[in-house]
């Protein structure tokens, strides 16, 4: 199959290599020609060090390849999804499948990224989502990984499953697009929080507390927005939360560690050297919590630190000083 991967970051590159290994004709697109030229010259992505880019992998800054592609992978950052979808809409085949692999929520609209893509494509192509615990650094080195392909059109989800699946990259299907995307986006906020806790010198107990109560918040919001609670127990929920909150591959956790150590938010994001999706998702989570009336104290604390300048010490103290609760009454299970 002819495939175009839009976005030459670490994740887009790792997926392009996986699809190439599966016998597809793959082109990796960079939004800048100098970036594409550098990848062609070095045959290595600095965000995926030690992984060679074969000569059989096409690398381009032109979107013309979209015209012939049966599958288009949207691997650009969340803030660039709308513009990119708008740019490919006139070029896209009507029978193409567009796969969103970015993990975030659009800042101004609080829409999930598949919704943004659908708005811009206006009925052209089928839209699916691929998500799960999948660090690019590990996928690029063929470390066993599992993800979920979600679409309201299950035939599209099965196409994604067939095209991506291989011996060390297992893909499940799901029709709960809302649940899959919210889990993918909100776990980045929680990874930032866990990183802050680690940077402050807190322990495993604190991280487990934030992850577990954060999981409850994710699922409560997801159900309120039409998702299924079972989805949050799967790869795009619990699975992605575990890997993102505990690994140093996680740029969100690394950014949180720096903030917890006292570095200003904007400086910490710059220091990470890649897009910190949790920063943008924290704003969207706060907006959605206000809109739905869902109580999300951990995510709201993240918003206060990231956008209102509240100290991490004060935020943690206030979280721990909340009124007494019954755990099961607030459970998402």
Output DSSP code: residue 323.
P
CA 189 – CA 181 distance, rounded (Å): 13
Per-residue model confidence (pLDDT) at position 145: 98
- Beta strands 169-174 and 97-100, pairing class: unpaired
Per-residue model confidence (pLDDT) at position 331: 59
Q: What pTM value is reported for the model?
A: 0.91
Provide CB contacts within 8 A for 157, sequence distance 6+.
128, 149, 150, 151, 173, 174, 175
- Domains recognised in the chain with CATH numbers: 2-175 (3.40.50.720), 178-330 (1.10.1040.10)
Active-site positions read 187
CA 180 – CA 185 distance, rounded (Å): 9
Q: 10 Å Cβ neighbour count for 112?
A: 25
Per-residue model confidence (pLDDT) at position 327: 83
Per-residue model confidence (pLDDT) at position 157: 98
**Residue pLDDT tens, the chain, 333 long:** 999 999 999 999 999 999 999 999 999 999 999 999 999 999 999 999 999 999 999 999 999 999 999 999 999 999 999 999 999 999 999 999 999 999 999 988 989 999 999 999 999 999 999 999 999 999 999 999 999 999 999 999 999 999 999 999 999 999 999 999 999 999 999 999 999 999 999 999 999 999 999 999 999 999 999 999 999 999 999 999 999 999 999 999 999 999 999 999 999 999 998 889 999 999 999 999 999 999 999 999 999 999 999 999 999 999 999 998 888 766 566
Per-residue model confidence (pLDDT) at position 333: 60
CA torsion sign, 179 to 162 to 117 to 239? positive
Per-residue model confidence (pLDDT) at position 274: 84
Element (H, E) at 29: strand 25-29
């Amino acid at each position: 199959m002819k495939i175009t991967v839009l976005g030459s970051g670490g994740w887009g590159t790792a997926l392009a290599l996986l699809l190439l290994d599966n016998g597809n004709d793959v082109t990796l697109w960079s939004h800048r020609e100098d970036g594409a030229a550098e990848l062609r010259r070095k045959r290595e992505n600095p965000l995926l060090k030690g992984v060679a880019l074969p000569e059989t992998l096409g690398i381009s800054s032109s979107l013309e390849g979209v015209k012939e592609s049966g599958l288009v992978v949207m691997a650009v950052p969340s803030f660039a999804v709308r513009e990119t979808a708008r740019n490919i809409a006139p070029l896209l085949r009507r029978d193409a499948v567009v796969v969103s692999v970015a993990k975030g929520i659009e800042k101004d609209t609080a829409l999930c990224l598949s919704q943004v893509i659908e708005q811009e494509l206006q009925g052209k192509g089928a839209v699916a989502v691929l998500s799960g615990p999948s660090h690019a650094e590990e996928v690029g080195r063929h470390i066993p990984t599992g993800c979920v392909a979600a679409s309201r059109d299950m035939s599209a989800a099965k196409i994604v499953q067939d095209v991506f699946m291989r011996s060390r990259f297992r893909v499940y299907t799901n029709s709960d697009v809302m649940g899959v995307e919210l889990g993918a986006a909100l776990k980045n906020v929680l990874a930032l929080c866990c990183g802050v806790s680690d940077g402050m010198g807190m322990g495993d107990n604190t991280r487990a507390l934030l992850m577990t109560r954060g999981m409850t918040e994710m699922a409560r919001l997801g159900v309120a927005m039409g998702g299924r609670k079972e989805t949050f127990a799967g790869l795009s929920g619990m699975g992605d939360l575990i890997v993102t909150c505990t690994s140093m591959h996680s740029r969100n956790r690394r950014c949180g560690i720096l903030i917890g150590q006292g570095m200003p938010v904007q400086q910490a994001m710059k220091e990470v050297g890649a897009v910190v999706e949790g920063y943008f998702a924290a704003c969207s989570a706060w907006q959605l919590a206000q809109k739905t009336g869902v109580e999300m104290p951990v995510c709201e604390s993240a918003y206060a630190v990231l956008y209102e300048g509240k100290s991490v010490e004060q935020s943690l103290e206030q979280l721990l000083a909340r009124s007494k609760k019954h755990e099961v009454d607030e459970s998402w299970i």
